[in-house]
């Protein structure tokens, strides 16, 4: 079956609406802090990549960040050159790392960057090759926050190797970073607030260093053709995540019919 590329619309990406930074570690609203503890470990996280990149991920048995000694070599870049440069130049507060030292995940399958690809929105964050590709050519690698939480805390309370969570587009000048285990928990709870659903579209979870393929629990694909291709790529892999066809993840938000 031949999948026709979607009709792409020349639309302009909406400007990010990032919240104002706050002092100290107050990464959650007063309302969320009054709530009982919430277990966020089972929440899913999502990493979108082109199917052409999957063989390299399987060969390395891991996802690798864009910077550092293990910098990713991909056939189809998702982020543009300017976006990758911005991520390499944005430090993570309290750590000797930059955003590009981490593997990026979103907290929803409908993140703003992925929506730009699905809907054909003109977005400077997206590489031209990725923008020209059909959404059905991509795969969504799924894990959970629990899998990503390998937090080590130093004497001063700073998480030296654990995950980082942002409340917006990571290189954005007003984006806040949660880097300690307590702040990560608070920000994840705040981002899950039903009164702020749009916050999830911008938020990122940054996994430091490499992210093992064994921690990927599911690969979402657009159709049977891509499912068969992915299963073929995974044939020799030590870890074979479940491969599921779920078209809504690959449709523009205004086209989804559940």
How many folded domains does the chain comprise?
Answer: 1
Q: Is residue 145 situated within a structural domain? A: yes
Q: Chain-wide mean pLDDT for the chain?
A: 84
Q: Is residue 19 situated within a structural domain? A: no
CA–centroid distance for 39 within its chain: 20
Q: Is residue 51 situated within a structural domain? A: yes
**pLDDT confidence of residue 73:** 66
- Domain of 96 in residue numbering reads as 44-253
Q: Is residue 18 situated within a structural domain? A: no
With a cut of 80, say whether residue 134 has pLDDT above it: yes
> Rounded to the nearest 5 degrees, what angle is found at the Cα of 241, between the Cα atoms of 4 and 100?
80
Q: Any residues with CB less than 8 A from the CB of 155 and at least 6 apart, and which? A: none
Among the ranges given (5-14, 115-124, 211-220), the one the predictor scored with the smallest mean pLDDT: 5-14
pLDDT band for position 234 (50/70/90)?
A: very high
Could you report the per-residue pLDDT of 42-58, keeping only the tens digit for each? 999 999 999 999 999 99
Phi-psi region of 94 (alpha: psi -120 to 50; beta: other; left: phi over 0): left
Q: Is residue 10 situated within a structural domain? A: no
190, two tokens: 């705040």
Q: Is residue 52 situated within a structural domain? A: yes
Q: Is residue 138 situated within a structural domain? A: yes
Q: Is residue 217 situated within a structural domain? A: yes
250, two tokens: 């690959």
What does the alpha-carbon distance between residue 112 and residue 180 come to, in Å, rounded to a whole number?
A: 26
Q: Record the pTM.
A: 0.82
């Amino acid at each position: 079956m031949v999948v026709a590329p979607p009709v792409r619309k020349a639309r302009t990406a909406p400007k990010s609406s990032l919240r104002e930074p706050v002092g100290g570690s107050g990464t959650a609203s007063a309302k969320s802090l009054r709530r009982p503890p919430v277990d966020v470990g089972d929440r899913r996280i999502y990493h979108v990549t082109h199917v052409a990149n999957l063989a390299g991920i399987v060969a390395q048995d891991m996802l690798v960040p864009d910077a550092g000694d293990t910098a990713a070599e991909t056939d189809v870049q998702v982020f543009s050159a300017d976006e990758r440069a911005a991520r390499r130049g944005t430090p993570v507060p309290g750590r000797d790392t930059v955003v590009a030292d981490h593997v990026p995940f979103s907290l929803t399958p409908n993140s703003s960057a992925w929506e730009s690809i699905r809907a054909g929105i003109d977005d400077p964050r997206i590489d031209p090759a990725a923008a020209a590709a059909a959404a059905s050519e991509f795969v969504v690698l799924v894990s959970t926050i629990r899998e990503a939480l390998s937090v080590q805390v130093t004497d001063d309370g700073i998480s030296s190797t654990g995950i980082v969570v942002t409340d917006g587009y990571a290189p954005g000048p007003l984006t806040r970073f949660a880097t300690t285990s307590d702040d990560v928990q608070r920000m994840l709870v705040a981002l899950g607030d039903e009164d702020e659903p749009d916050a999830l579209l911008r938020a990122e979870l940054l996994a430091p260093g490499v992210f093992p393929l064994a921690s990927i629990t599911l690969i979402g694909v657009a159709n049977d053709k891509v499912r068969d291709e992915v299963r073929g790529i995974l044939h020799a892999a030590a870890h074979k995540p479940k491969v599921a066809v779920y078209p809504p993840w690959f449709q523009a938000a205004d086209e989804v019919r559940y």
